[in-house]
Structure 1
Amino acid sequence: MADPPLERRSTTPSPPGLLRPRLMSAPQGVFNPRLRLAVGPPGTGKTTLLTQWAAHCPGDVVWYQSGSPDVKPGKMFSFFACALGAAVEREPASSFPDLARAAELLDRHFYFVVDDLHLLAGTSLEEELEQIIAVNSPHMHFLIGSRHFPRINMAKSELRNAFSVFGDDLRFRDYEIEQLFRTTFKHPLSVHGISNLAGVTDGWAAALHLFHLAATSRSNLERRRAAESLNSRSRFAGDYLVNHFLVGTTLDMNRLLSVTSLLDFITPSRCDALLERHDSRVMLHRLEHLGIVSTDDDGATYRMPKVLRQYLLAGLEQMEPEEQVALRLRTAAMLELEGAVGEGLRVLAEGGDWESVKLLLARAGTAALQPGRCGWAASIPDHVLTDDAWVVVARSREMLDDGRVAAAEGAAARIPDLTTDPECLRRAEDLRLQAALWSGGGEAPSADTSSWEFRKAIRGDPCAAARSLGERREPEDLFTGLSLLLAGDQRSALPLLIRCAERLDMDPVSALAAQLALAVAGHRFDGTDADATAAEVDSVHRQAERRGFTWLARLAGGMQAALSGTAAAFAAVNSAIKTCEDRGDEWGAALIAAGAALLRLRTGAADLGQLEALARRFRRLSAGTLEAWAWSAEALVSANLDLPCAPENAQSAAAFARTAGVPGALAVAYAAMALQKPEAYGELMRQAAETAQSGGLVCRPWTWLAPCRHELVLPSSLPRDVPNGNGPSIEHSDGNTHPWPERAPLPSLQITCLGGFALSREKVPVDLSRIRPQARTVLRILCLNAGRLVHRERLAGILWPDLEAPAALHALQVSLSCLRGVLQHEGQSGGGQLLVRQGAAYALVLGTGSTSDLADFEQSLHAASLAKSAGNTLGAAEELRRAVGLYSGEVLPEDGPADWVSGIRESYRQRAAEAAATLASVELSLGNTAAAAAAATRSVEIDPWRDESWRTLVDTFWRLGDPAAAQRAQRRYDLVLNSLGVTAE
């Protein structure tokens, strides 16, 4: 038997399609899982993902394509045995025990890829594959693609860390569609075009590719217009659906799909009722097996892909008009009997049968007016709205669900002119009061006490509102939790919101709102798992769309756009805000803007203009609590930028937050004040921390911002330039106090502490040969703390520990005087300004254009962390490369084991090693295997005791196809372990 094609890769080939990092990485804590599964309907990109996975496998890769008609017993075993035998250079195994023994000979990773496993379902080959997977070798890995979940016992211990990707995971998100067309297809689309294409195709990979092919020959303008105008009637995917997607279906199956395309979801009982048969469950199971419909609840309900449903609905329009009407009436009647009145009204409304709509609405009454059930009312023509009160009530409900509160209030106010029906009038008044609660700035009474208390929480004093709501217990978990969250009490809010989020079946709108709040400002808001946060927001978006909660879906869509952190994402956020404004949804616009501002603040990229505009938005909406947060965030950013208006902004924000009764915003304002008051920095920061702690604020927003790169002096530690002579005073070394004078810009300094000390002034090396060793040590200490104050007693204690305090301080003054003379060039001024005293402390001031390798290193690590939190893998890689490149050696090696530097030196060494290790992982996720090897090598050079770095290095060399280097690295790692008394595995 000929050996199967065994691919040994020395370099990683470029895989097809867009590389999506969220699908490439296994969950945290899972390293190189033994089994990876890609399960989804046809055309969702399973084969592409398998190819991308295989391209990044660190070892031998063997492909098995399941399309062969030869499925005789033993074929799978023989194929695998030959491949494994070739890998270990042995004869193929003839039994499973022999196979297990051969697997023990593997000294590198071995990957077996099986695509289209569903074609082998029920055959002996599927059973053989399960037995092969059961061979428990840590070097054997399996990548499997299938239309349905394979019959593999996932409970086995060797598969406990399996990594599975399903159809919904494979769906392209909006930001991925933007990247796909911009980077892969080289045909960028507009923000509106991307949003529309995502809505019509539901992110289905095949549909996106088909649209690209259909539009390739068009001009850029025509292509963008085509994406923007694409609708459910477009038939660009028709041929693919007929010739590929629906292959294997029978006439009965096709009829079932056609008839049920009117339904939001399919059940066996619905199919039996519409088709007048009793075997629909069997057909649905077969359709699921073919990958044409999917189920999330073990066959209770099914859904078909959005593109397929649109294609089938377009096909219904080819029926005779009488047949169409009859089918819709029969479907609506069936749904009415089932209690799904809203869905029945949608079926009739989409057919334009408004008389039947009126009749069904009159029969159903308030049962048809529940949240999310009136989306159909958006298409009611004007002439129908003039004479039927229940239809107008439905329109008001639809407007309220869509966030158009002013329009909803106006529509509900018209009802008394159309009817005297007491039930209709009562329902209309309820809707009017709900809408009035959120429209305009004036207060409105409401029969719904909980809504009124929550509205008061948004106006101000959310803690009091939360206490009032808390007395009502579980039914008010959402409003109580949100009120506490508005106050900044994350600690108390999160348990309530989590409990509310779990009640999706009982109260779906509250549960989804709680899920969105948790995703944006809850337990994942530490930024450690951006992909998980995006998945949660995406889930809320899809669930809200399916359930008819259009306002909540639009809100989640805006948040989803902001999460990717790209320039295109910010354009999408602005588009979402404008969409809300155009629809009259002021609350939606404000909350999307707030979510985007919060996410930008969290990633250190806050925009002052955005925050100021946000505060004004909330003022127009009489949302004092939210306005307080906006002003405090604006004050924090102003203080971080050291703007002239920052002190006043911080004071105003603190006063506003105090008046509005928002402890969390007050804590942020205190932190902003601390940055502006160096003399009270410690006290104010303690006050900020204590206010946050007592108020339940878990996050610390003032830690999210790094100093601007052009301003390396911390505003909390040094005095500012003031244009007149009436500014702050500074105490000089002569003991007298002088006003801070006007002065020319400070000369720039270039400081190097990594790998050896060096100092330049205006890029000219400073000659330090004229000063004593103690003075040079003082200079190195000040450079190590550049931009920060160092107390004189600390300096004196380091340099002259054996002298009495007066003598030590005198010696320090002499050294500082020498330093001022050195820092000032002959014939130039500025040295005295570079070295300043504030109280009993000294600092080296860095003027514009100054650099410090330690500060640059810190900035790069901070920027990398923010980029990683935002899901910007490329940005994280760039910053990590910069940080690792900056670490040219230990901090101030010339000072040896001195106590004042050894702790700092060790801290930077560990952080540099960690940065290099992280860079190696990031490079691997980007497919840069050689760069990953270099980064891992650098990590173990810096810190040879890091297990993770050694393992990554060994693994990376295997990926590069360099077994000799991998073995050398493994031996070096074993020596390290042996030196620690640890037995190498």
Structure 2
Amino acid sequence: MCDAVLGIETGAAMLRELAESAAVLPCDSSGTLFRCHTAVQHHCESALPSARLYRRAAAELVARGYWAEAFRAYAHAQDWAAAAETLSASGKTWPALRESAHVPSAWLREDPWVCLADARRLRGNGQFAQACEAYREAESRFADARMTRRAAVERATLAHWLGPGMGEPEPPHARDVTLSRYLHDVVTTRLDHVALPAAGGTEPWWLLVRGIAAAVDGGLGHARELLGPLAYAEDRFVSLASRITCVILGADDAEPAFSQAELGRLSIEAESDGWLWLARIAHAAAVLTDHRLTDDALAVRAECVRLGDDWGALLTGVAISMAAYRAGADATPVLRETIEQAHRLGAVTLETWLRLLLTAQLTTHHDPGALTEVIHIQRHIAQARPPSLGVPLPPPNPVRVELRCFGRYEIAVDGNACDLTGLRRQAKTLLWLLSVNAGRPLHQEVIAGVLWPDVAFGRAKHRLHVAVSSVRAVLGPNSHSLLVRDGPAYRLVLPAGSEVDLLTFQDALRGWRSGQASLPSAGLSALLGRALSAYRGELIAEAGPAEWLLPERERLRTEAANATAALAGLQLLGNPSLAVETCLRGLRVDEYHYDLWRLLEEAYTRTGKRAAAVHARGRYLELISP
């Protein structure tokens, strides 16, 4: 195994030499298994700190069935998802696997990285109480103060979710803890008592908090507006949580088969990223698209209860209850259990929602208990604003982009021109490339092929990340919602109300082409005029003769010249003087355009300027003569 991990062929000989000096001891007579003192182990690991080597070692250990040792290796590689997958593949609980290890169990029990990996595994599985204990163990084991604080911060992000009175003092300046507390508050507290920051709340995590707040308050449309752009967030949890929430909120408007497939895909994606509790919620939420999936959702809820995933059990219970009510089925038993669970967790707002649903359920079935529920609801209204009243959330910060691709390149965000003078050439080219394809994703390999055609993709990919960061820096505070990661691609997002001269040009010409058989001359002239107003010069003139740009630049130049000729043709009968000006403008775009010279000659003739007409014909003949 040493040979496989280190890429050598002398491992056996080296181990025999170490055995002769008693640095390691043979485990049996085979001469292939050895054990060493803890001090030797620590020395070897400190000399080979590479995460890559730890991953390679973990893979070799898995292949040989050393599950506990593989878990430890993945922990040291900080590959938390792989560590969790290893434990799952072993088919054992961590305590049982630890005790069955081939190395002394104390090595595993006292290893802070193993404790942290176990804590993160439990967090991803929704077992927040157990995760907090594992985080405490990691804090007590780490000698590095930075890692101790890291474990403390991660533990504090979970403490809010354990139920009333279970919170702990927050580490100072712990942004992640603050975000977690806000997210907890918007699903548990009277929303007008949650002081969400009105300013500076445009980064993905804040938008996630505000989007979920809007959803809890019943503002589903507002919630989808806030959460939709987060699908491309670089933070995997934010991306997954926002996409799952959007699919659930839009389930009524989409085809059931589409929503089910999307939730299934997201469930698999969340599981592969180690967020198993999120995967279970996505799986159970499919019941909202088809009540016949209730048994599956109930099985998921039972799994949450078995694991101690209280919030997963609560949210799956909410989904089951809503699906049953919509289908006209009796949701009373699950509703009552879910209401009790919401009460235990201190989720006052969710409890109010559920009690409203229970009242509607009982009223539909003429149950006299409906009156009792009304009394309960009145009590909860004193603590949580009823959803029907609506809560004024901080309005989303509108972002408007103005993009000029014709002539000198310019980009402005919310009226503020972006200063591109500090951008290096490759970062500026990246921005140009994304702007020409605004709204469409561009694969990383395509971008790398344009920017670094002679560089291996691995190195080019790293350079691309640096260039993306540089571009985002000049786009301002909303950069992460404008230049987004779209899987293996990048995309320049155009929020509603944005203006892009390239799109204006193309849309106007598209309207002109489709309206030639139905629109009057005035309407066609207006569309052509709008297109030509947008065309201020060749596409991104300052890029020069860039190979990636030349074909598109030439195509648009030809379209602009043709559009000018079409407009001059419409003007010729009614206003030949204006047609002259239009032709001259078009010839500045393409001086070899035959139709423009022909129309210019005719327009001069119609205005009585015969000498100018003859000169125009002569000028064209000079241009085309060899």
Shorter-chain TM-score: which interval?
Answer: 0.3 to 0.5
Instruction: Name the structure where helix makes up a greater proportion of residues.
Output: 2
TM-score (norm 2): 0.48
TM-score (norm 1): 0.31
